[in-house]
Amino acid sequence: MYEQIRRNRRASWLLMGMVVALLAALGYAIGAAWVGGTSGGLGLLGVFGVVAIAWSVIGYYSGDRLVLAVSGARLVTHADAPQLYNVVEEMTIAAGLPQVPAVYVIEDPAPNAFATGRDPKHASVAVTSGLLRMMDREELQGVVAHELSHVRNYDIRFATLVGILVGMIALIADFFLRWSFFSGMGGRGRRDSGSGGDSNAIFMVVAIALAILAPLAAYAVQFAISRKREYLADATGVQLTRNPLGLARALNVIAGDPDSLRTANRATAHLYIANPLRGKKAKETAGLFDTHPPIQERIAILLAMAHAGPDALTAGPRPADADPADAQQAGRAVPPPAASGLPGLPGLPPILPPSGGAPAPRPAKWKLS
């Protein structure tokens, strides 16, 4: 588990370096082709750097509020959702976060969840009403631990920065290609003569090639980072709960639900614990532009951590089974009803006193049969 965490962190930073290198190469090539020479390349690269920093600051401070608003999330208190709030508090303590994140609920039948916020002091966790309805407490712990792992690992900040850099690459490339088209690929290199003109022409060709390929490569790297951070959050979540099966069963419930999340879109899909878009949750292999790894592969890794087989995913009744007959029909085990305060141990007195206030009398002789 710990090696999985270290490996995913190394891979994420390596991919982040690739995005920065792509932005630098594209900026330099366009500057050299447009302005001319090394000075032009470095000058335009500096301009792009300033714009990227300004854009990053705006996204850093306002991104979480925009995501929550777009998702239709509603702020809840302990009185509104006591079990959810208690689980968030428990996992906050386990993760060592300085304060409990704000808790939100999205009114949607599809089970899913996400976390957002620039740091642990400004974090929020949002779950759907469908997830609360379908999952038991252990599964809810697994989901919340996964999301708070994103907060603990600063994944939201990391993803925001990568997204801004990738957006910069796409906008710069689009602007340059449009400028080249409408100017007839004129540029400075077309007007100059001699070796300087030849050099600028080479830079122009390189810049156009990068403007076409860099956005595709940047998006592929961004989605690869997103997949790595999901694996990292799974492993860190298990570190918090010490219960791989809780998260494995939660992912199994999410994978088995056919509904897509109505409020999700391509811009916010990468934030969720599983891809919320239609037809994406049950994919068996990850494509180059997928934001999440295959959910069955994540479940298999969690089962290996628990030294358990696939049968462990269906143990016990589902909270959504209002009638035990429904659970039996679905092939899930239903424990026998308890005759007293302790499930499965008939004959023992209730733990809590009856409503009258006086404790139940202790039997003269305890006998377990």
Our answer to whether residue 147 is catalytic in this structure is yes
Structure confidence at residue 325 as a pLDDT band (50, 70, 90): very low
Give the residue with greater pLDDT, 60 vs 312. 312
Residue ranges with strand state E in 86-244: 102-106, 113-116, 124-128
Tens digit of each residue's pLDDT (9 = 90 or more) over 255-277: 999 888 988 887 788 889 999 98
Q: Which of 237, 256, 246 is nearest to 130 (CA)?
A: 256
Residue-wise pLDDT for 268-309, tens only, equals 888 899 999 876 766 777 777 788 999 999 999 999 999 999
Stretch among 69-78, 242-251, 359-368 having the lowest mean pLDDT: 359-368
Report pTM.
0.69
Q: Which of 139, 147, 284, 297 is an active site residue?
A: 147
Min mean pLDDT across 149-153, 340-344, 351-355 is at 340-344
User: According to the model, what pLDDT value does residue 354 have?
Assistant: 41
β-partners of residue 125 are 103, 115
Tell me if 72 sits within 8 A of 106, measured CB to CB: yes
Burial (Cβ within 10 Å: 0-12, 13-18, ≥19) of residue 282 = middle
Cα–Cα distances in Å, from 341 out to 157, 333, 337?
47, 21, 11
Which conformational region is residue 302 in: left (phi greater than 0), alpha (psi within -120 to 50 degrees), or beta?
A: alpha
User: Residue 103 has what pLDDT?
Assistant: 97
